[in-house]
Structure 1
């Protein structure tokens, strides 16, 4: 059981005016929380890959975070994206951090020896039916797109433009130059673990994915699609089917898909693993944040369980 669950068990239920009042109180207090000195643990949803050997002593990590907060005059600190069973959890609680529910991460366990075996496990009923998957595979195959594997060094403005189409849908405003510089940095530091796959039409990129392989897991970190690729199931073909086939060939055990777009991910075989943000705020706001976090934890747990149940479309994924 995660620490957030243990805390919520001791917190009374809130509903109606009490919950609204608590939400308003915490919302009005957020100006006293910020700026926040925050660290994001390995596995976070970032363009690059954070990782390394398991850390046995997290005290120095928190000490540096505290020092950074003092240097930056930050009233609050945070450690973000923490798995429920992470070894740092007990130390965070001991040091006064409050567990606040974050995004869940979608993870696909590689269970099949071939893509055909993976497709065969889709049911003929449900949200994502086997016929739909076969139709997506056929549409991509008939699109005229050719798929090739390359390295991060090949990333240029044409790929950045494809990713920017996605970012701008969500209100993000970054430049193609910034993205190219980011991927050049990733190529220098993470090249040995990186894999870039490009789908082209007449030599022009129409879709791409970037992932990193590390300790038996594949981390999908960036993708982009043209309108043409999207019309021909390029998103599903590149993000799921091509990557599943690569994981099977390479012997990877799991594919880390990160947060959001849960319906598409659960519908194609992912399970959801909760992540928690740990925050330490000024003492006068601690009690209110603990109570609101407990409510959010309960509601979030119910919502994710319902989503997994309704969108589970494959045999053998959710315990059946």
Structure 2
């Protein structure tokens, strides 16, 4: 009888081991390597969607997320790389005879606008990812070219503004070039040091801030009462401009038609950066971003560089040079 009981105990132990071993493997090996597990307050576990990654090479510039696609783009060593963020596969490498000096998606679609500088001229080109087609658009002279700071394009007015840095005798200044729908090039701003540029959505109005915190709307210096120094934060879809007071960093003026409509106040002025794109404005803190327009916080991982925020996802580059996209 004792032998029978002993055998039953041994068989029971073996059964438990056999049952727990694959469970341990599933929970601690498969899931830990491929998914994130979060715990709700009620004690249940939710398996979240996989993080999506693209490995960036050292020196990669102009990293962008192509909206409504699975692609990211960047420039490295004068070439454009388009990768699938789901699997890190190379979709397209664009090589020109001369180095690409800037690239970015436009119009929330699969069109990448890029620029090549050669023989004293700046060439505007596009690449259609969906059609796998390239096109040349315009070339114009630029003296003492150094780099492109920013490019703004309005799909409503079909106007492009190119903020170009020039360098002569070790002095860097900015020229902003305007290219209209007829591909006529003019200089909108010349020989200034510019910190930020933005466009209104529904009319052809350029807004910029110089290095002395002077803000110009349609080339007119903006003032409010006795204040004339502001930080240009961005613009929303209704063409409201958001300007931070340089006298009181907690005060933000919302400007419409060159007049202050109302003012906002923020409690925390310790933000490290401003992310302004596609009519969205975020103050970037150590571990969260503050949506200035909708006045809400979004948690982020510390020490990341944000490259895109949409209604449902946030895309960033971390300290290991990985592009990661996560649900908000």
Instruction: State the TM-score, normalizing by the size of structure 1.
Output: 0.27
Bigger radius of gyration among the two: 2
Greater relative contact order, per chain length (Cα 8 Å cut-off, separation 6+): 1
Q: Give the structure with the higher percent helix.
A: 1
Q: Give the structure with the higher percent strand.
A: 2
Instruction: State the TM-score, normalizing by the size of structure 2.
Output: 0.26
